[in-house]
Structure 1
Amino acid sequence: MTTPTIDLVRIAAMDAAQAARLLKGVRAATLSGQQPPLVPRPVIGESWDRMLHSGVDPDHDFRTGLLSVEEIEQRRRSSPVTQVLPVLREGLVSVADAAQHIMVVTDGEGRVLWREGSTSVLRKADGFGFEIGAEWTEDVVGTNGIGTPLITRRPVQVFSAEHFVRTHHSWTCTGAPLTDPRDGRLLGVIDISGPLDTMHPSTLALVTSVTRLAEAELRHLHLSSLDRLRSVAAPMLARMTGRALAVDVHGWTAAVTGMPPVRRLALPRTFGAGSTWLPSLGTCTVEPLPGGWLVRAVEGPDPESVTRVVLDVSNARRWSVTVSGGAGTWSHELSPRHAELLYLLATRRSGRSAAGLAEDMFGDRARTVTVRAEVSRVRRYLGPLLAHRPYRFREDVDVQVITPDHPAHLLPHSVAPAVRRARVGAL
């Protein structure tokens, strides 16, 4: 008989103390290797597994040093989140205050940059070390509503003893990752936290909705800046010959000449004025523009084709692909979906059909349209490195995959069936 999984809605309907006792029993049984009365929710169980392999102490919290005031202010100024704080405050602070919660906003490294809400709850948060400048990643404080969304890249609600560290069991927290729509970069987590008796399952929908509104506002600001760049660049490109395009600092195209339009140019990690090499264009010259770059392709063959691809998925939160050869070296940070896709192709050098990839990624061989669209997006920056029929890396390219020390930390955001199997060593 299959052990049922915890239903957070039913848990929330219980008396808070009763629910906490039940979850403590589940946690205690799970951590001791016994059969629990209920199975932890998958997002919680997988996080606990990561914590056990990382050596996080389940009974005592650990606190890193707080950032200095100067460092906090520097991170605030440089964060795009500053632009959408009014959206977050309007949607969450008044609700949090009334419900005896606080709103917490972190950066992409899990450092708390803003806290607002109930004064009494802010004082309680101080007792947990949940302060401005504190680090709230899983590696430091275990399963929680900030560190876990940073890893899983999806909204997570953590109630009482679902927290891995025992000293946080009197707390409930709900966090949603905030992603920059311009480049897919993880900007941080928007979190609502408070004492466990204030938990409500609808908080997850509220935090998720307000976070999506903030992302929509960032998208609107991006389109406005792209229009300004286009007004400067379009007249310049109209006088040019050859292939050239104007892109913003995130690679989004404002204007193009001498080549089919491309929505976005995948820029390397380090990009600046001078000569560079891009897999999709070859050797290029780069000049600065107000708010972006003018990229001009140098016509003629490149010195040598690509010989090596390094896919780095060793980090739990950031992944990259590096391409090198006689023409130069190019490195690009990957989105969660593209990290999955390239990992599956790199570990299956014989290739996969569209239906096979759909089964690997979604558990549904019929989702070939989605797979073909994603592969097409990857080919925009990896160019001819990917062959098709079946999809695979070219045979003459050396492909290296850098993986985490333990399989439990492999692409932990991924729910792709093939990646889940790889996390338990069954790929």
Structure 2
Amino acid sequence: MKAAQNVAGEAARPGRAPVSRRPRPAPRKVIAQSWTRVKRDGVDPEHEFGPGLLAPEEVRRRRADSPLREVVPVLRAGLLPAADEARHIMIVADVEGRVLWREGSSPVLRRADEVGLGLGADLSESVAGTNGVGTPAVLRRPVQVFAAEHYVRSLTGLTCAGAPITDPRDGTLLGVVDVSGPQETLHPATLAWVESVAKLAEARLRETHLGSLQRLRAVAAPVLARLGGRAAVVDRDGWTAAVTGMPYLQRITLPKSPSAGACWVPSLGACALEPLDEGWLVRAVEPGGCRSGGERIALDLAGRRRWSVTVSGGAGAWSQELSPRHAELLYLLAVRREGRSAAELAGEVFGDPARTVTVRAEMSRIRRYLGEFLEHRPYRFRDGVEVAVALPGEPGDLLPHSIATAVRLARDSAS
């Protein structure tokens, strides 16, 4: 005990360095990984938001085009009643990280204005660093970022909890809802609260979608009853309201810019499109479907967060946005045109050749929109189809958040 007191006394004397210092805690894993990404992107810790704000008319245009406009009332009801007392604000950003709605505590709004977080600010992680909007958008899951965990210095006065909002129809990211305020007013339970409100918003989107399909189904019923052959009525995005003469398909991939007349549809072949109420009547022209010839598949993997496949040919063109998993699988099939078995794909994606059930399920989903162009046993693109892949300018940015074994090897070998 006496020895311990002497050590303490020595450490406490003026001019003497302490015997030991408590090491600074390492950042949480989710934060450390985000810091690594933003450093690689060259984000400036002194980044200023003011010069990058969108013009008011552009904010209004994006609001009108955003599916999130339908659920802003749900988000307000869930997050704003206690905003002044709890000293927080709600931020709703689109898929690109642009702030489209921002409401809540007046003092916190003023603080946000002081650092340039106005309407139209870009909070994507590759621009604004680690934050409660950009980081959840990258990870596709809720994330809380405490004050000093922000990468950009001007944001360290706020603690943020953000959750992604996805399209319940296909899982596409629509945007992020975030609650921000002084660190002392938010705690870990805030994240679960924000996530639950985001889920309520997704439920409202699902209800709206099902309601619109039900209304379209009522219009479609008498029309389909008079037709022979294979036909379907779909909404403007291709979601099916009713069918006749064919198995039900949840979604029919329409041409990129649909218009009345002849076209080619992956799951049906040659078709005729006719406008019907808030959707389309799709009629198969030939019972077995057909291929127009000269088809080209363009796999766009150049983006950091969004990827797509576009099919073009003599009968027009259509595009499909890809989920991260589908982007991985199609990339692997594109770089080895001879094909891969389910076990090979499982090994290259999951590092476990035994996970063939998961691979087959995902390939079955891909075949819903690329069925005419894919063979199986092994899985591969059909002969005679041109396949082009657009890759990012920096090889290390290939599907940057993928942990698929083969994708990581491709990134590592290129660096």
Q: TM-score range by the shorter chain?
A: 0.7 to 0.9
Establish whether residue 140 from structure 1 lines up as the match of residue 111 from structure 2.
no
Alpha-carbon offset, residue 94 of structure 1: 3.1
Give the aligned length. Answer: 393
Establish whether residue 318 from structure 1 lines up as the match of residue 306 from structure 2.
yes
CA contact (8 A) 1:302 1:327 kept: no
Q: Where does the alignment leave 5 or more consecutive residues of structure 1 unmatched?
A: 1-21, 26-36
Distance in 1 between residues matched to 2:257 and 2:154, nearest whole Å: 42
Q: In structure 2, what is the equivalent of residue 377 of structure 1? A: 365
Q: In structure 1, what is the equivalent of residue 110 of structure 2? A: 123
CA contact (8 A) 1:363 1:417 kept: yes
Which of 372, 392, 395 aligns to 2:380? It is 392
Query: Deviations for 1:85-124, whole angstroms, at most 9, x for unmatched residues?
Result: 2321222223554432211111222221212222211111
Establish whether residue 340 from structure 1 lines up as the match of residue 324 from structure 2.
no
Query: Deviations for 1:120-176, whole angstroms, at most 9, x for unmatched residues?
Result: 111111112111222222233222111222233222222233322223222221211
Q: In structure 2, what is the equivalent of residue 297 of structure 1? A: 284
Distance in 1 between residues matched to 2:236 and 2:170, nearest whole Å: 10
Distance in 2 between residues matched to 1:95 and 1:411, nearest whole Å: 40
CA contact (8 A) 1:101 1:193 kept: yes
TM-score (structure 2 length as normaliser): 0.85
Distance change in 2, residues 1:304/1:354 (3 Å): same
Q: In structure 1, what is the equivalent of residue 156 of structure 2? A: 169
Distance in 2 between residues matched to 1:268 and 1:414, nearest whole Å: 29
Alpha-carbon offset, residue 69 of structure 1: 3.1
CA contact (8 A) 2:270 2:291 kept: no
Structure number with bigger Rg? 2
Q: Where does the alignment leave 5 or more consecutive residues of structure 2 unmatched?
A: 1-21
Distance change in 2, residues 1:274/1:257 (3 Å): same
Q: In structure 2, what is the equivalent of residue 187 of structure 1? A: 174
Query: Deviations for 1:364-421, whole angstroms, at most 9, x for unmatched residues?
Result: 4443323212211111111232221222223443322211122443334534344344
RMSD: 2.6
CA contact (8 A) 2:47 2:128 kept: no
Distance in 2 between residues matched to 1:216 and 1:363, nearest whole Å: 35
Q: In structure 1, what is the equivalent of residue 72 of structure 2? A: 85
Q: In structure 1, what is the equivalent of residue 263 of structure 2? A: 276
Distance change in 2, residues 1:200/1:184 (3 Å): same
One-letter amino acid matched to 1:324: S
CA contact (8 A) 2:264 2:292 kept: no
One-letter amino acid matched to 2:201: A
Which of 215, 224, 237 aligns to 1:228? It is 215
CA contact (8 A) 1:151 1:412 kept: no
CA contact (8 A) 2:309 2:320 kept: yes
Query: Deviations for 1:235-256, whole angstroms, at most 9, x for unmatched residues?
Result: 1111112221100112111111
Alpha-carbon offset, residue 363 of structure 1: 4.1
CA contact (8 A) 1:152 1:412 kept: no
Which of 55, 73, 76 aligns to 2:63? It is 76
Q: Percent identity?
A: 62
CA contact (8 A) 2:237 2:254 kept: yes
Q: In structure 2, what is the equivalent of residue 209 of structure 1? A: 196
Distance change in 2, residues 1:332/1:60 (3 Å): closer
Secondary structure of 1:287's counterpart equals strand
Distance change in 2, residues 1:85/1:344 (3 Å): same
Distance in 1 between residues matched to 2:158 and 2:246, nearest whole Å: 56
Alpha-carbon offset, residue 46 of structure 1: 3.8
Q: In structure 2, what is the equivalent of residue 197 of structure 1? A: 184
CA contact (8 A) 2:91 2:102 kept: yes
CA contact (8 A) 2:262 2:315 kept: no
CA contact (8 A) 1:63 1:140 kept: no
Distance in 1 between residues matched to 2:410 and 2:28, nearest whole Å: 21
Alpha-carbon offset, residue 231 of structure 1: 0.6
